[in-house]
Structure 1
Amino acid sequence: MHLGWPELLALLTSLAFGVVSAIVPIANAEAYVIASQVTAVAGPLPVAVGVGLGQSAGKLLLFIAVRRGRDFWFVRRQHHDQQPVGPVRTRIRAFLARLLELVGTNRWGLPIVALAAVVGIPPLYAVSLVAGASRMGALWFWLVVAAGRVTRFVLVALGVGWLPFW
């Protein structure tokens, strides 16, 4: 693949948008990829690879923020008294505890991250936070997310290219 100036610009802007969309959920990466292909700004690969790598970098930032959160100077170390919680919050806490347990295991951790990165179920945002609180290695997390997100966005970009043939 030869990268001319338009492709390089598309790659870099997609990389930046990917980082933002990984941290700010309202910025939709799929919509960005589809819009870039519908408007024919650049080919599918520079945009898809840029957004995928940007998303994986942003999710790694979330991962590290959870893992090292207490070390940041702006995190308050106040402990609030625990108030009784309702049945919905109790179920959510139990689900998150089970997910944290599974993501922290060698057998299920990386497959859950891969599924979230490619399919989006469970949501990758939540999985990134849970993985940061688990024993999972940051490098393995980033590699699996990068591979999954690039795959996802290449499929989205190529899928938009096939729409005229349908």
Structure 2
Amino acid sequence: MSRYRPPRPRGSRYITPEGERQLREELRHLWKVERPEVTARVHEAAKNGDRSENGDYIYGKKRLREIDSRVRFLSKRLEELKVVDELPKDRQRVFFGAWVTLEDEDGGQQQYRIVGPDEFDLQQRKLSMDSPLARAMLGKTLDDEFDFESPLGTQCYAIVDIQYTAPK
């Protein structure tokens, strides 16, 4: 069985200023804080002799590879990202960075912010602009209704609010 995994399709290049700050902070933390700590632990573990049975050495080296891989990814990704820090001219439509409140057929409301794929987090209500739901919302205006094909079947949503600042 092969370990090969095809590369992920590239996500959109757009990111909010907050998202860029988070990625830069993660890169700084990995490179300046975590990597030196793990390197020191691996160095101490290497002094203990037989490395083939030394868990601190083996898992430390594994963690170093993970850190280096993430650092390489973040460095390359940050070079190609485009920070979107301007509001759109037409704030009555759903575009990147908008907080959108949706209402389903039962009257339940959900609110999401449309962000780049590098910063999405459903627990914080941040939805990637590459996701099917965000794609269905983009370009819509207030009170527009649209159908969304989800794993649960077709769902109908109405856009009840669009904001370009954080909701209270």
Give the TM-score of the pair, scaled to structure 2: 0.27
Q: Which has the higher contact order (CA 8 A, sep 6+)?
A: 1
User: If each structure's helix is expressed as a fraction of its own residues, which one has the higher value?
Assistant: 1
User: If each structure's strand is expressed as a fraction of its own residues, which one has the higher value?
Assistant: 2
Give the TM-score of the pair, scaled to structure 1: 0.28
